[in-house]
């Protein structure tokens, strides 16, 4: 009987681990595809000087894209469970396309070496912290809550500094922002892993949760990249 219980427990554990891996592969797959989409759009816009000039010189269009991005994130955050999987994926990819336009106008200000350096360091930081969040036995919930509160304070400080700009304050905000998003990468990864442990078969609901998880990790990476570029980038 003991042997039967052991076999049942082992089988259940293997099934849970397999379901978890399947869920996390789904999350990382869409995050990666989102980043690829953003990179391609950014490259296309950056390569077309007329398009790039129109976007960078039209503040109305640029801020319109930013507002559209916020709307997409808001809709996904509060209504994703009411959507089909296809709609959720389409909205995520649409966000990636919009962000590609934003990225093209941002990187145009900096030298290619600065962009490459920031991208490499961002990828390294994200990769290390995501692996840490996946494998650590420590509960990162409390850290995640503190970082989320810190992010709110950071956004307030960023808005205030936009009105009364100070370069030193901007550098400090960027530095703290990198620390916050690096920490959130580990926390978000662990949280998604825990969701994966409960996912069972990867049904439509968990697919949609996975798309939202992909967006979360995508934003962690993009924000680390932007903040590093703002801190260390040399303008062209």
Q: What is the structure's pLDDT at 4?
A: 55
Backbone angles phi, psi at 226, to 5 degrees: -60, -45
Report pLDDT for 164.
84
Only one residue has tokens 């950056």, namely 46
Per-residue confidence (pLDDT) for residue 8, from 0 to 100: 42
Which residue from 231, 35, 220 is spatially nearest to 126, judged by alpha carbons?
A: 220
**pLDDT for res 117:** 93
pLDDT tens sequence across 69-92: 999 999 999 999 899 999 999 999
Q: What is the pTM (predicted TM-score) of this model? A: 0.89
**pLDDT at residue number 200:** 60
pLDDT, tens digit (0-9, with 9 covering 90-100), for 122-153? 999 999 999 999 999 999 999 989 999 999 99
Domain ranges of the chain: 2-232
Instruction: Give me Rg for the CA atoms of the chain.
Output: 20
Per the CB < 8 A criterion, the answer to whether 225 and 38 are in contact is no
Here the contacts of 167-170 (C-beta below 8 Å, separation 24 or greater) are 170/230
**Within the chain, which residues score under 50 in pLDDT?**
1-2, 5-8
């Amino acid at each position: 009987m003991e042997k039967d219980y052991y076999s049942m427990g082992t089988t259940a554990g293997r099934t849970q681990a397999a379901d978890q891996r399947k869920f996390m592969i789904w999350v990382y797959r869409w995050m990666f595809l989102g980043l690829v989409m953003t990179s391609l759009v950014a490259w296309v816009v950056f390569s077309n000087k007329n398009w790039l000039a129109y976007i960078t010189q039209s503040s109305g269009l640029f801020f319109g894209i930013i507002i559209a991005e916020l709307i997409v994130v808001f809709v996904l955050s509060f209504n994703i469970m009411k959507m089909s999987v296809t709609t959720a994926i389409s909205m995520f990819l649409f966000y990636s396309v919009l962000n590609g336009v934003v990225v093209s106008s941002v990187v145009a200000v900096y030298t290619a070496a600065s962009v490459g350096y920031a991208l490499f360091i961002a990828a390294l930081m994200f990769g290390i912290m995501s692996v840490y969040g996946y494998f650590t036995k420590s509960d990162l919930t409390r850290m995640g809550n503190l970082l989320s509160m810190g992010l709110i304070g950071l956004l307030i400080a960023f808005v205030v500094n936009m009105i009364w700009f100070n370069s030193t304050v901007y550098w400090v905000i960027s530095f703290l922002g990198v620390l916050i998003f690096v920490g959130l990468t580990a926390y978000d990864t662990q949280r998604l892993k825990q969701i994966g442990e409960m996912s069972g078969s990867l049904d439509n609901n968990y697919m949609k949760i996975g798309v939202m998880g992909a967006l979360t990790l995508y934003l962690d990476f993009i924000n680390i990249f932007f903040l590093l570029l703002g801190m260390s980038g040399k303008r062209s």
